[in-house]
Structures are given as C-alpha cells and as structure tokens.
Structure 1
Amino acid sequence: MALWTWLVSLALCCYVQGAATEKIPSAASFYVQSIPGIVQNPDIPLQIYSGHLAAEPNMTRVASNDVTAHLFFVLVKNRRVADKQRVVFWFNGGPGCSSFDGLMMEVGPWRWDGKPVGSESFVVKEGGWEEYTTMVYVDQPPGTGFSFSSTDQYAHTMKDASGHFMEFLKNFYAVFPEYKNVDTYLAGESFAGQWIPFFAEAILDSNFGVPLRGVAIGNGWMDAKSQYLTYLDYAMKMSLLEEGTEDYKHVKTEHERCETALASIKDNPVHVRECGGVINGIIHKKKPKVVNGKEMCMNMYDIRYEDTSPACGLNWPPEMHAITHFLDRQDVVNAIHAQARPGAWVECRGDVHRAFKDKTEQSGVTVLPKVLQKIPVLIFAGDQDLICNYAGLERMMRTMTWNGETGLGTVQTKTWSVNNTNAGTWVTSRNLTYVKVFNASHMVPFDLPHVSHDMMLRFMGADFSKLVGGSAKIPSSLGHVSKPVFVGEEKPADKATAPAAKTPEQEKAMWEAYYNAGSAALVLVLIMLVIGLFTWYRVRKNRLRLPANQTSEAYEEEQVPLNTSMRDEEAGPLTATRKGKGKAEPVFDVGDSDDDEPYNRTGDGTRR
C-alpha cells in the first residue's frame, strides 16, 4: 500500500499543479505554431497567438453550473520595426459578427487563393496592418464567432458589452504584460461604430492605465437618425433612383414615414423600426431584373454589384463560403486553440444579434464627443457603401457638437493619393479626422488594403522616414506633402525577422508549449497507472470493481460539450455527430440557435 499511497499523492499533486496553471495561462499556451491551409511566405514571417480568455465581469451573478463568458482573440505580432511599438484591437460589427471578417478578408495577413470550397487555402500577402503594428482581433460580445457564454448571460446593452471587453482586456494584459504600456488603438467597422465609442469611454474612465491614443471607425453605424435621413439623398446622388419613377415614389413615401417617426423621438436610439423600409425600397426594385430564373437586387454593401434576392449583399464577399468551410475544419480549430467553443463557426450569430435588437440603447454618437475631448478619432467611409454611407456620416458630423463647436468648421479638405492614384479626401478638425475613400465599399480594406494601411499609419502618426521595406515603398501624399520613400536596404532589425527559421521568442514559446503538453501527458500517464494498479489490486482481492463511468466532477465540467442541442443549421465536419436534440432540454446553451445561419447584418434586416 505504500507504493499505492505514493502514486496517488504524486498524481493528485501533479493534477492540482496543472489545474492551477490553467487559471493563469502563459503566453506560450496561446502560441500558434502553424495553421493548416495557410500558405506561408518566408519573406513575411508571422508570429500568432490565439485562444480564449475569461470575460465575465461579475462572477457573483453567475450560477455555479453556468458557462461563463469567454472571448476569443487572435494576436498577430508586427512583422517589421516601425518608429515605435503600437497595438490595435480590431472589432467587426453585427452585433454578433465575428472579427475573423477583419482577419481573413480585410486588415489581416492572408487572402483566399480563389480555389473552390473544399480545396481552398489562404496565401500570406503584403497589405495587412500587422506589417508595422501588432493586431488583436476580438470576437465579441460573448457568443460571437468562437467566443462563448451561456445564452442567458448574453450581453443586452453596451454597458454589458463594455464590461465583457474590459474583463477580457484585464486578462489579456495579465498574459501579455508587454503590451500594457504600448500605444493602443481601437479600430473596426460597421456596428463597431457602436462598440468602439463605448469601449473607448470605458478604457478612458478606468484605472487600467492603458495608453489609448486613438480610435478608427470605418463606415460605422454611429448615428441612426443621420443614416436613415440620408438614404434617399445618397440614392439620388449615386443615380440609384430616377426621380418620378415608381421606385422613387415608393422610397419617397418610406422616407417621409421615417421622418415622421424620427420627429417624435427625442433621444438617439440605435434602431428605428419605422425607417427600415427606406433602404429596402432602394435595393428592391418594383420590377426586378431576373437572371437565370432568380430575382436580382442591389448589393447594399457595394452598389457597384448585384446579388440574388433576398440576400442583397449577404453573399458578398465571395470569400465568405471558403472562409466558413476553412474555419469548420477540425485541424484548423485545433491549431488556433478554439476547441472550447462547441459547434461550427458562424460569421454572424442571430441569437447574439437579437439580444441587442429592439432595445432603447443610445447610439455611439452620444458618447463620441466625450471621447473626442481626450483622444483623436478617425472616421473613414468607402463611397460605394449604401447601408452606412458617407452622406449619413457627414450629416452626423455637421450636427454633432464637440470640443466647443458644432461641425467640422472651416478647416481645409486635403486631397490624398496612394501609389499615384487619387485615394480620397482628408479633413481634420479638433481631434476628429474624416476620410472619404474613393472606389471603396462597406469594407474599405477588402477593396483597397494598401490604401487603408496608409490611412491608418498616417492617423497613428507613424514616422514614414523610419519605415523601410514592404508598403513603405509605396508612394503617397496628403495635400502637397509626399511621404518620404526610402529606397535602400531594410534595417538590420527587420532582417532578423525575415528568415523562415524561428526567432528565439518563437523557439521559447514552442518549447514551453511542448513542455506544458508533456507535463499534461505525464500527469495523464500517472493517473492511468494509478487507476490500473488500483483496479488490479481490487480484482485480485475480489472486491467490488471500480464503476466504469466514474470520472472527476471537475474533469466533466471542462470536457463535456457546453451545448446539448446542436442545430441542423450548423451541421458540418465539426457538428455532424451532434445534430438534433437530446432527451432533455438544457437550461441554457452557448448560443447555437435555429437562426445561426448568416443573418442580415444589421438591426434593420441587414448585416453591419
């Protein structure tokens, strides 16, 4: 029995030590060695960390058997040395749309290779914002993308969402303390026009001491009133409607109905139900074109394109099908440490979206003036977007009062060019910079990656004279001032990161990950050895056998699927064995619902 006692003590000691380590994960545990299907470029080395971090701000309100909120993130370290270190947290909209949109299609390091779904891969290319800046893509609020929580704990207000993000941020800095004193920016698009002002306010009001230097919002849904009232004007300006036609008369009627509703509203809600008919009248014609037996409608995110009805832009960009299939691969999920979220990845989750829908929440524009008192704000807009069009944003700025004045004032609007092409217009007034981007859609970086990168570097105040290699060689100018272009060799510090061989930091992270995995394997072997010896001992003595289904309660909590009701809509390689309902309905699940197919991305029947 002495041997038995020693083995049990050793196994329990190792188990407790391992459990304690999991509560405060090391950065190495998030290190991504490689991602299947990502074609690496030795000239563009990537250092990636990803996984889940706890994001429940109020543990006292959570029942002991609840699944607590965890946000998923992907961190991509800057590849080249800039004039200084910077970190950008990126958010997509929805609400409920994953920031993998930004990572996989917009400001991230790779792009779809165009191969058919099932044989797709992604190629690392220049143009990503991680070139000179560390990027952190966050799936939020809980339930979005690979993030999870019990559905009865979903965020319903901006205060809820801010609380989740701040708790995530606290844990992020515990794992990556080297970023706490680095110049920090928040950036995103669409409904992130709601998230970002509130998140910025929360950071600025906190005692975190985070050096938040600015925020950037692209085609943001910040002021519902201004957007609704400019749909008709934008449609006429862009020749989407012809005055006097049946379509025009219908939209004009809906516009007047919307005006009446808005006149009776004194506050600034995120959505106004009576105004949804305006944009629907623009994208759906009375006599729609029919192609191959299918009715067509306008792509609300890029008016240069059409789509089949009723999608009207939800099938765009075409990359989405390949991305969805790619993120449903088990080897990819394992590689990025996303296993804790059961079920398939869905771009936009209906249940998360509905948690915010029909609420009387105030729009982000109500918080923006307070943010502008403390930090610079960049608002940029692709001119080919209908849903969050530039006309609505310009109206918002004309009527908004900040830093003692209303509107942009009499400041000069400058021309802006990138690679000898007119990229747009640029104006700055009292901490607010507004950039209108030519020939760009709702997703500016998707259309013009190098243009959007130049814009962000300028906004962050990057010293172009100290940037060499890569996009630094692309000429650009703002007004009459051209960016200095260094034609010489890259800095030695840059060359150190260029070879395909792993850096010392990568080697350390890899070996620590191996060590953690080896330690876990050793614990498992010891436990199995103890169980085996104990079973042998009991059988030998003709005593009762150990029940075959006996497990550790703590182990069950960590390993059992968090959702016992996987839906058919999410069926795929990851969920084929989980379809249908179990014998009992769960009290809660982690957010898979009958409406988790890609839904319209805004609160008015579209995806923001």
Structure 2
Amino acid sequence: MSDFLGPVETSAETSGSYRRQDQTAVTFSNPAAAQYYVDGRTIPNVTFDAGPSWSGLMPISANPKESRKLFFWFWPTNNVSNARDLIFWTNGGPGCSSLEGFLQENGPISWSWGQAAPTPNPWAWTNLSNVVYVEQPVGTGFSQGTPDISNDDELAAEVFGFMEQFLEVFDELKGSNFYVTGESVHVPYIANYIYEHPTLDINLKGIWIADPSLSYGVVQQEIPALRFVQNNQNLFPFNSTFMAQLQNISDACGYTDYLENYVTYPPNGTLPLPPATNGTFTVTPECRLHSPIQRAVTLINPAFDVYRVSDTWPVPWSVLGFPRSTQEFIYFNRFVQDAIHAPHMTWTDCSTESVYINATTGRPGSDTSIPSTLSVLPDVIEKSERVVIAHGLADFILVAEGTRIAIQNMTWGGAQGFQTPIEPETFTVKDMGVYGHTHTERGLTYVEFYYSGHMTPQFVPWAVYQTVAYLLGKQPSPSL
C-alpha cells in the first residue's frame, strides 16, 4: 500500500521565508499578503506540517465600501517547476463550499468520509500546480454579502472581480497559466467570462469539470434513469412488478425510443426534447422516473447515496456533515476559523438559502442560465488548449449517459457531437489497468471512471490525477 500511495511531499517555514519540499522559497512581495498567511504547522487537528498557505476574505471589487467578499484558501505547489500554473477550484451546488473539495477531494490535507483524522493527500493537485479554492458565489460557505445574481454570467462577473483583487495581492501569480476546474455547473461560465474580458492578467488555458450539469434535468436525469437501474440491478434490486411500471413510464414518455434512436455517432441532427416535456423544459409529473427510483431504492437500502450508489450500511460519517449529518462536529465550525482567517459564523457545506435572486422581485430565486452545452461551452472549447469533462459511473444525481446525450447535442469546432463512438475500456490508470472510458475530439476530452460517484477526486483520486496532469499538458494523454 505504501508503494501505491507514494511519497507525501510537505513544506516547511524557515527563517521567515516559506519553502517548498525542494527548498525553493514561496514569497509574496505585497505586504497585504501577510494578513492571509496560514502556518501549516498550526492548523487545528492537523498533526503534520501541511506547508504554507494563504486564506481569508477577498472583496470582489476595488470599491472600499464593497460588502461582497469571497472566501479563498490558496495553496502553492510543492514543486517549483509548476510555479507558473494556477488552478481555480470551485464546487457546485449551487451554493456548495469549495472547502469540501479542498478537504475531501484534491487538497494537500485529506479528511474524507470515515477518516478518524486528517492525513496528507498523495494525490493533491498541489503536486501539479498552485491551487486556489474559492467559496462562491456570495452566500456560499464563509463568503460574505447579500446574494444579488440571477444567472451564471453574473456569477462569473463576481469571480472575475475576485480574481482581479486576488492577483493584486498575490502579484507574483500574474501571467500564470490558468485552469478553471470544479464540479457541477459554474465552470464553463467563469471561463467564458474570462475569455470575453481579456483584461485579467492571467493566461486561461482550459477547464476541467466533473459530473457537470450541462443540460436540462430531463436529459441528465430522467431519460437515462431506467437504463442506469437496469445496468446496476445488483444495487437496484427492484421486483419485476415495479420494473415493469418503470418500463411503461419510459416507453410512454419517449425515453426508451430516445435512447435507441436519437443518440448516434455522429448525430443525425439536433436532438429533440422527448414527449415527456410537452415541448417545454420541465418534465410532466407522470413522466418522472428519477425521483421515484431514488425513493424506492432508499426503502430497501437506507444507506443509499445518490452521490455514489454503491454505498451500503453502515453510513460513513463526514467531518463536514455532507451528504449526511452523522458526525460529532463540523470541522470548519471549530477553532480552525481563527487559523484560516475566517469569519466567526456557522459554516455549512451547502447553503440552505438560495444564492440566486429573482431579478424582478429581488427575492430568493433560481438560476436562469441557459445550459452551458447550448450556450457558452462550445466557445470555451474552441478557445482552450484542452477541455476535460469527467464523470463517475456510480453517480445517480447526474447520470453519465445523460452527459453523453448533452455532448451529442452540442456543436463545437464545426461539427455536432463526437463523430465516432466512445469506445469501452479506453481509459487506463498506471499500474492498475482499465479504469473506464475516454474519448477526445476537437479539443474536448470526455472520461468516465469506474468506482466513482459524483465527487470524482474524492472517490478515485489516482484516476482523476492523471486527467488533471493531462489538462495541464504534463502528459500527452489522460491514460497511462
């Protein structure tokens, strides 16, 4: 196991300068940076030197009266050869904290489900790049201010403003190769905004997004739901009567026909909405499959987790209280708040209030963005060196086959969808063998992981690590 985990790199502070494992110093000349410094030897509950980092609240504009501030935690790479690369990480939700990604997915400190205490993470993305974790939009995690956005273009403008202020404080990061990464919905909109506003002193090269919301719910949940159950019957052991009911719904609402006739390589044209929507983007009540399946499987598996369907009893606890509150305490509600310059408040992994408003009434609302495959993502792919979409095959909150449908209905680089099929068993992990499927065309790489649910860097960090190294141009293919 120690050979598999590999060496764990740490950093140390010496004589007032902060040094990587290779003894190169990490310094920032702007005196304002000092207020954000976190000593990696004194992070509560962490029994090893995690190395230097910087965290706190950063306003989203230069206005001295700006009340909207995003919380960030910046970690420098432990390898000086990667010092000109900067990864931006965000979780999705919307309104879910990026500190989840830091602590339980790809940060240098790992305190994942069921772990008694934090440990060094051998697959930390800081091995490959500098990484900044940002809690966004306003209303998420420790971030401060009153939500005032109604779509993800406005969300991206907040992030852009944050990055302007961040780069003024951490001036040495200006001109870095920049990569926007994360889970769920926001990543393409952030990248698109940066491409459309080239004043940010950063060199955006591409994006990486896992288990994303790319299209409407009918596409990524309802249409593929029954086939997902059929392909995983050992985890969805429904009786024949209920399976027949599900099949009848799938047939009557056009899902069965859709999968058999419309999803082709290459596509035969724009993919229509199924009859279940009656020409709108909302599924009619009698055509809902995803929620009834989830309710039914929970009856026979009380530990069922929509984020990773292979979970069974006992339920693993999480120090962040996500996805279930079975823990003794929530880590970021303890005295760690002082250590990372966070405001004293009750932190939650995902906001219980909407982070969007209704633009007409000003009251809490929902995201009005057009799905990214039908709006901003094609342009982002064409402007990027590499774009990676990854998906865990054990995720049921967003189904991998639905992501395939969304890709086949997207036009980029002069063509619609992938022109040739995604071949099985084409993604391999070094020393482990076949670990899923992958396909690349016209600047877009799609990867599906075995063993993984929604949070791919948490469940299969060794496999994800390869795809991020590929994104950064550090290996020629996502497979090894």
Match of 2:420 among 396, 410, 432: 410
Write the deviation string for residues 441-477 of structure 1: whole angstroms up to 9, x where unpaired: 111111122221122102221159xxxxxxxxxxx98
1:423–1:451 CA contact under 8 A, matched in 2: yes
CA distance in 2, matches of 1:100, 1:320: 19
Size of the aligned set, in residue pairs, is 412
CA distance in 2, matches of 1:378, 1:47: 29
User: 1:214 corresponds to which letter in structure 2?
Assistant: G
Cα offset, 1:317, TM superposition: 5.8
Cα offset, 1:237, TM superposition: 2.3
CA distance in 2, matches of 1:77, 1:458: 20
Secondary structure of the 1:204 match is helix
CA distance in 1, matches of 2:204, 2:470: 17
1:284–1:297 CA contact under 8 A, matched in 2: no
CA distance in 2, matches of 1:443, 1:275: 31
Answering whether residue 197 of structure 2 is matched by residue 201 of structure 1, we say no
Gaps of 5+ in 2: 1-29, 256-273, 358-363
1:247–1:281 CA contact under 8 A, matched in 2: no
Cα offset, 1:204, TM superposition: 0.2
**2:292: which partner in 1?**
281
1:143–1:154 CA contact under 8 A, matched in 2: no
Match of 1:302 among 302, 308, 314: 308
**1:38: which partner in 2?**
46
Q: Which has the higher helix share?
A: 1
User: 1:200 corresponds to which letter in structure 2?
Assistant: A
1:186-335 to 2 correspondence within 5 Å?
Answer: 186-190=180-184, 194-206=185-197, 207-224=199-216, 225-228=218-221, 229-239=223-233, 240=236, 244-250=240-246, 252-253=248-249, 256=252, 259-265=274-280, 274=285, 277-285=288-296, 288-289=299-300, 296=302, 298-306=304-312, 321=327, 325-329=330-334, 331-335=335-339
CA distance in 2, matches of 1:273, 1:172: 45
**2:361: which partner in 1?**
none
Match of 2:457 among 428, 440, 445: 445
Write the deviation string for residues 571-606 of structure 1: whole angstroms up to 9, x where unpaired: xxxxxxxxxxxxxxxxxxxxxxxxxxxxxxxxxxxx
Secondary structure of the 2:395 match is coil
User: 1:350 corresponds to which letter in structure 2?
Assistant: T
Q: CA RMSD in A?
A: 3.3
**1:27: which partner in 2?**
33
Whose relative contact order is higher, 1 or 2, with alpha carbons under 8 Å and at least 6 apart? 1
Write the deviation string for residues 510-544 of structure 1: whole angstroms up to 9, x where unpaired: xxxxxxxxxxxxxxxxxxxxxxxxxxxxxxxxxxx
CA distance in 1, matches of 2:132, 2:284: 34
Match of 2:406 among 376, 381, 396: 396
Match of 1:336 among 333, 340, 345: 340
**2:143: which partner in 1?**
147
Answering whether residue 444 of structure 2 is matched by residue 432 of structure 1, we say yes
CA distance in 2, matches of 1:195, 1:287: 30
**TM-score computed with the length of structure 1 as normaliser:** 0.62
**1:107: which partner in 2?**
106
Q: Relative to structure 2, which stretch is displaced further, 422-431 or 214-223?
A: 422-431
2:249–2:287 CA contact under 8 A, matched in 1: no
Answering whether residue 351 of structure 2 is matched by residue 349 of structure 1, we say yes
Identity over aligned pairs, percent: 25
Task: Report which of the two structures shows the higher radius of gyration computed on alpha carbons.
Answer: 1
2:79–2:128 CA contact under 8 A, matched in 1: yes
Secondary structure of the 1:350 match is coil
Query: Cα–Cα, structure 1 residues 132 and 281, in superposed 2: closer, same or farther, change >3 Å?
Result: same
Answering whether residue 377 of structure 2 is matched by residue 368 of structure 1, we say yes
Write the deviation string for residues 352-371 of structure 1: whole angstroms up to 9, x where unpaired: 35647545431122211111
CA distance in 1, matches of 2:400, 2:419: 18
1:144–1:352 CA contact under 8 A, matched in 2: no
Match of 1:177 among 166, 171, 196: 171
Query: Cα–Cα, structure 1 residues 318 and 128, in superposed 2: closer, same or farther, change >3 Å?
Result: farther
Answering whether residue 94 of structure 2 is matched by residue 98 of structure 1, we say no
Secondary structure of the 1:135 match is strand
User: 1:149 corresponds to which letter in structure 2?
Assistant: G
